[in-house]
Amino acid sequence: MFQSNICQLLNIKYPILQGGMAWVANHSLASAVSNAGGLGIIAAANAPVEVVREEIRKTKEKTDRSFGVNVMLLSENADEVAHLVCEEGIKIITTGAGNPGKYMELWKAHGITVIPVVPSVALAKRMERYGADALIVEGNEAGGHIGELTTMALVPQVADAVSIPIIAAGGIGDGRGMAATFMLGASGIQMGTRFLVAKECAIHLKYKEKVLRAKDIDTVVTGRPTGHPVRILKNPLSRKLLNMEKNQEPASAFEELGKGALRRAVMEGDMDNGSIMAGQIAGLIKKEQTCEEIIEEIMKEMKIIMQEGWQRWQGK
């Protein structure tokens, strides 16, 4: 019943992708998600190309299933990573922060399935024209860098505008969220925040605890004046950043404070000066589980909801 077109396209059992997350999505998390029947994704972010190669090789040792690499197009290493994925025989790429147009020919020549992340209808249409195989349509409930629209408003508008498959992201944490996005026109989901607290996710324990303790209203959006808004959990750093916004401090001041901030949270567990990226759905996430438990639970909930929904529709 849930063998969606995304499963065929990506050669996976369940249409659930783990979002590429800078400093977070390494071989441990990606291989666990793939082994559980979803699509694990390694985040290349700004990492040196040799580090990304090492992560790819370790993932290959831990799984023989499909997995992907997230290429951050704004990174100064993007060019090198774009060629590395070809050398390493990667079959699926997701792209964030920018336009993958200039690599499309290269990736297509290597038989790579390309799935850009899009925050708007205009970009979705452009990516389809460039030859994208599917789209990750991400609403601003998501953790990390965000656009302006919510998942609820964006997914159906993109679904009407393109004919390639859509993977919804942003604010999805359980089977209800997954079912809702399928109703809006998606045929797969991508989650970041829920996988932050997976047992196989090797982030600092303090980061996990902060996500597990978060309430619905505990995230804020910082960095709007820089043109790169980011959703993070409230902490002393977020308060400093918001104060700077109020005082109309220059973009360079934000960049200075934000430099290395995600690494400080993920690697050092610095909950005061680190950027604790997480989405609005953090308030729903209450326990650490293995990737297999997370994926199986969501698929079970999804199945029940689809059946109950039909009964409600019939007035039962």
Ligand X SMILES: Cc1cc2nc3c(=O)[nH]c(=O)nc-3n(C[C@H](O)[C@H](O)[C@H](O)COP(=O)(O)O)c2cc1C
Strand 166-169 versus strand 144-145 pairing type? unpaired
Side-chain-side CA neighbours of residue 255 (13 Å): 6
Range in contact with ligand X (rule: CB under 6 A) among 134-142, 241-249, 251-259, 292-300? 134-142
- Work out which of 56, 85, 278, 291 binds ligand X, going by CB under 6 A: 278
- Mask: binding to ligand X, 83-102, rule CB under 6 A, as x and -? -------------x------
By CB under 6 A, is residue 45 in contact with ligand X? Answer: yes
Q: Of the two residues 1 and 6, which places its CB atom closer to ligand X in the complex? A: 6
Range in contact with ligand X (rule: CB under 6 A) among 16-24, 49-57, 77-85, 157-165? 16-24
By CB under 6 A, is residue 15 in contact with ligand X? Answer: no
- Mask: binding to ligand X, 197-226, rule CB under 6 A, as x and -? ------------------------------
By CB under 6 A, is residue 177 in contact with ligand X? Answer: no
By CB under 6 A, is residue 193 in contact with ligand X? Answer: yes
Q: Of the two residues 286 and 307, which places its CB atom closer to ligand X in the complex? A: 286
Range in contact with ligand X (rule: CB under 6 A) among 58-66, 189-197, 240-248, 252-260? 189-197
Q: Of the two residues 207 and 254, which places its CB atom closer to ligand X in the complex? A: 207
Q: Which residues bind ligand X (CB under 6 A)?
A: 19-22, 24, 43, 45, 70, 72, 96, 117, 138, 141-144, 169-172, 190-193, 277-279, 281
